[in-house]
Chains A and B, each alone.
Chain A
Amino acid sequence: MTVAFDAIVIGGGPNGLVAAAALGRAGVRVALVERASQLGGQARVEAFAPGFSAPGDDGDSGWVPPTVVRGLGLGGLARHDPDPCVTVPIASGAWLTLWADPTRTAAAIARHAPADAARWPEFVRRVHRLAGFLARLYQGPPPDVDATGPGELGRLLRLGVALRRLGRDDMVALLRTLPMSVRELVEDAFEYEPLRAAVAAGGVRDLRQGPRSGGTGFVLLHYLVGAPAGAVRGRGRWRAGPDAFVAAVAAEAARRGVTIRSAVAARRILVRDDAVVGVMLADGTELAAPRVVSCVDPAHTLLDLLDPVWLDPEVLHAVRQIKFRGCTATVRYGMQRLPDAGADAEMLRGVVSCTPTLDGLERAADAAKYGAVAERPHVEITVPTLTWPALAPDGQHVAIARAQYAPYTLREGAWDHARREALGDAVTAVVDEALPGFSSRVVHREVLTPRDLADRYGLTEGARSHGELTLDQILFMRPISGWAHHALPVRGLYLGGAGAHPGPGIPGGAGWLAARRLLRDRRAGRYTLTTERS
Chain B
Amino acid sequence: MLNLTPFHPRTAPLVRAQTWRRWAGHQVASAYDPHPDREYAAIRAAVALIDISPLHKYHIHGPDAVRLLDRMVTRDVTRCAIGQVLYTPWCDAAGKIIDDGTVARLDTDSFRLTSAEPTLRWLAMNAVGLDVTVEDVSRPIAALALQGPLARAVLAAASPGDWTALRYFRLLHTRVGDIPVTVSRTGYTGDLGYEIWVDAARAVPLWDALMAAGAPYGITPCGIWALDLARIEAGLIMLDVDYYSAHRAPIAAQMSSPFELGLGWAVSDAKGPFNGRQALRVERRRGPEWDFVGLRVQWESLEALYAEHELPPQLPIIPWRGSVPVYRDGHQVGYATSGGWSPLLKQYLALAHLRAPHGRPGMPVRFEVTVEHVRRQADAVVHPLPFFDPERKRA
Which residue numbers of A lie inside 8 Å of B, CB to CB? 274, 303, 307-310, 312-317, 320, 529, 533
Q: Which of B103-111, B123-131, B212-220 contacts A (4 or more CB under 8 A)?
A: B123-131
Task: From known contacts A317-B125, A320-B128, infer whether A309 and B273 are also in contact, taking CB-CB under 8 Å.
Answer: yes
Q: Is the CB of B129 within 8 A of A303?
A: yes
Q: Which A residues are CB-close (under 8 A) to B304?
A: none
Can you offer 13 A-B residue contacts whose CB atoms are under 8 A? A274-B277, A303-B129, A309-B71, A309-B272, A309-B273, A313-B122, A313-B126, A314-B92, A314-B125, A315-B93, A316-B128, A317-B128, A529-B278
Q: Is the CB of B125 within 8 A of A313?
A: yes
Residue in B67, B275, B278 whose CB lies within 8 Å of A313: B275
Q: Which B residues are CB-close (under 8 A) to A316?
A: 125, 128-129
CA–CA, A316 to B272, complex, Å? 18
Task: From known contacts A274-B273, A313-B122, A314-B93, infer whether A308 and B278 are also in contact, taking CB-CB under 8 Å.
Answer: no
Q: Is the CB of A309 within 8 A of B67?
A: yes
* Min distance, Cβ A488 to any Cβ of chain B, angstroms: 14
User: Which chain B residue lies CB-closest to A314?
Assistant: B93
User: Which chain B residue lies CB-closest to A304?
Assistant: B129
Q: Is the CB of A312 within 8 A of B275?
A: yes
Overall SS of chain A's interface? helix
Q: Is the CB of B275 within 8 A of A308?
A: no
User: Which chain B residue lies CB-closest to A491?
Assistant: B278
CA–CA, A315 to B93, complex, Å? 10
From 267 to 301 in chain B, residues with beta carbon under 8 angstroms from any chain A beta carbon are 272-275, 277-278
User: Which chain A residue lies CB-closest to B94?
Assistant: A533
Q: Which A residues are CB-close (under 8 A) to B275?
A: 312-313
CA–CA, A274 to B93, complex, Å? 13
* Min distance, Cβ A254 to any Cβ of chain B, angstroms: 36
Contacts beyond the supplied A313-B126, A313-B275: 8 A-B pairs with Cβ under 8 Å: A303-B128, A309-B67, A309-B130, A309-B274, A312-B93, A314-B92, A316-B129, A320-B128
* Min distance, Cβ A448 to any Cβ of chain B, angstroms: 28
CA–CA, A157 to B126, complex, Å? 40
Q: Is the CB of B93 within 8 A of A308?
A: no
CA–CA, A297 to B92, complex, Å? 26
Overall SS of chain B's interface? loop
Q: Which has the most chain B C-beta neighbours within 10 Å: A308, A313, A315, A529?
A: A313
CA–CA, A307 to B131, complex, Å? 12
User: Which chain B residue lies CB-closest to A306?
Assistant: B129
User: Which chain A residue lies CB-closest to B126?
Assistant: A313
Q: Is the CB of A313 within 8 A of B273?
A: no
Q: Which A residues are CB-close (under 8 A) to B93?
A: 312-315, 533
User: Which chain A residue lies CB-closest to B273?
Assistant: A309
- Per-residue A-contact encoding for B68-109, CB less than 8 Å = 1, 0 else: 000100000000000000000000110000000000000000
CA–CA, A529 to B278, complex, Å? 10
User: Which chain B residue lies CB-closest to A302?
Assistant: B129
CA–CA, A309 to B272, complex, Å? 9
Q: Which A residues are CB-close (under 8 A) to B128?
A: 303, 308, 313, 316-317, 320
CA–CA, A529 to B208, complex, Å? 58
From 332 to 368 in chain B, residues with beta carbon under 8 angstroms from any chain A beta carbon are none
* Min distance, Cβ B149 to any Cβ of chain A, angstroms: 42
User: Which chain B residue lies CB-closest to A320?
Assistant: B128
Q: Which A residues are CB-close (under 8 A) to B277?
A: 274
CA–CA, A320 to B273, complex, Å? 20
* Min distance, Cβ A316 to any Cβ of chain B, angstroms: 4
CA–CA, A308 to B125, complex, Å? 11
CA–CA, A121 to B279, complex, Å? 57
CA–CA, A446 to B273, complex, Å? 47
Q: Which B residues are CB-close (under 8 A) to A317?
A: 125, 128
* Min distance, Cβ B332 to any Cβ of chain A, angstroms: 28
* Min distance, Cβ B129 to any Cβ of chain A, angstroms: 3
CA–CA, A247 to B15, complex, Å? 83
Q: Which A residues are CB-close (under 8 A) to B67?
A: 309
User: Which chain A residue lies CB-closest to B278?
Assistant: A274
CA–CA, A124 to B272, complex, Å? 57
CA–CA, A324 to B278, complex, Å? 31
Q: Is the CB of B129 within 8 A of A308?
A: yes
CA–CA, A274 to B274, complex, Å? 10
* Min distance, Cβ B71 to any Cβ of chain A, angstroms: 4
CA–CA, A307 to B272, complex, Å? 12
User: Which chain A residue lies CB-closest to B130?
Assistant: A308
* Min distance, Cβ B364 to any Cβ of chain A, angstroms: 38
* Min distance, Cβ A276 to any Cβ of chain B, angstroms: 13
Q: Which A residues are CB-close (under 8 A) to B122?
A: 313
CA–CA, A462 to B246, complex, Å? 37
Q: Which A residues are CB-close (under 8 A) to B126?
A: 313
CA–CA, A384 to B45, complex, Å? 90
CA–CA, A218 to B128, complex, Å? 33
Q: Which A residues are CB-close (under 8 A) to B92?
A: 312, 314
CA–CA, A312 to B280, complex, Å? 14
User: Which chain A residue lies CB-closest to B71?
Assistant: A309
CA–CA, A183 to B71, complex, Å? 48
Q: Which B residues are CB-close (under 8 A) to A303?
A: 128-129
* Min distance, Cβ B128 to any Cβ of chain A, angstroms: 4
Q: Which B residues are CB-close (under 8 A) to A310?
A: 273
* Min distance, Cβ B67 to any Cβ of chain A, angstroms: 6
* Min distance, Cβ B52 to any Cβ of chain A, angstroms: 28
User: Which chain A residue lies CB-closest to B129?
Assistant: A308
CA–CA, A309 to B68, complex, Å? 8
Q: Which B residues are CB-close (under 8 A) to A533?
A: 93
User: Which chain B residue lies CB-closest to A490?
Assistant: B273
Q: Which B residues are CB-close (under 8 A) to A308?
A: 128-130
Q: Which A residues are CB-close (under 8 A) to B274?
A: 309
Q: Which B residues are CB-close (under 8 A) to A320?
A: 128
User: Which chain B residue lies CB-closest to A303?
Assistant: B129
* Min distance, Cβ A533 to any Cβ of chain B, angstroms: 8
CA–CA, A532 to B275, complex, Å? 17
- Per-residue A-contact encoding for B55-71, CB less than 8 Å = 1, 0 else: 00000000000010001
Closest 6 CB pairs of A and B: A308-B129, A313-B125, A312-B93, A316-B128, A309-B71, A313-B126
Q: Which B residues are CB-close (under 8 A) to A529?
A: 278
Q: Which has the most chain A C-beta neighbours within 10 Å: B67, B129, B277?
A: B129
CA–CA, A309 to B93, complex, Å? 12
Q: Which A residues are CB-close (under 8 A) to B273?
A: 274, 309-310
* Min distance, Cβ A524 to any Cβ of chain B, angstroms: 19
User: Which chain B residue lies CB-closest to A533?
Assistant: B93
CA–CA, A317 to B272, complex, Å? 21
Q: Which B residues are CB-close (under 8 A) to A307?
A: 129
Q: Which A residues are CB-close (under 8 A) to B125?
A: 313-314, 316-317
* Min distance, Cβ B275 to any Cβ of chain A, angstroms: 6
CA–CA, A314 to B67, complex, Å? 17
- Per-residue A-contact encoding for B118-142, CB less than 8 Å = 1, 0 else: 0000100110111000000000000
* Min distance, Cβ B106 to any Cβ of chain A, angstroms: 22
CA–CA, A303 to B67, complex, Å? 16
* Min distance, Cβ A310 to any Cβ of chain B, angstroms: 6
CA–CA, A317 to B125, complex, Å? 6
CA–CA, A313 to B7, complex, Å? 36
User: Which chain B residue lies CB-closest to A313?
Assistant: B125
CA–CA, A308 to B277, complex, Å? 15
* Min distance, Cβ B12 to any Cβ of chain A, angstroms: 40
* Min distance, Cβ A480 to any Cβ of chain B, angstroms: 13
* Min distance, Cβ B15 to any Cβ of chain A, angstroms: 40
* Min distance, Cβ B62 to any Cβ of chain A, angstroms: 14
CA–CA, A310 to B130, complex, Å? 12
Q: Which B residues are CB-close (under 8 A) to A312?
A: 92-93, 275
CA–CA, A314 to B277, complex, Å? 14
* Min distance, Cβ B176 to any Cβ of chain A, angstroms: 38
Q: Which A residues are CB-close (under 8 A) to B129?
A: 303, 307-308, 316
CA–CA, A308 to B129, complex, Å? 6
CA–CA, A309 to B128, complex, Å? 9
Q: Which has the most chain A C-beta neighbours within 10 Å: B128, B272, B274, B275?
A: B128
CA–CA, A317 to B67, complex, Å? 18
Q: Which B residues are CB-close (under 8 A) to A309?
A: 67, 71, 130, 272-274
User: Which chain A residue lies CB-closest to B68?
Assistant: A309
* Min distance, Cβ A490 to any Cβ of chain B, angstroms: 10
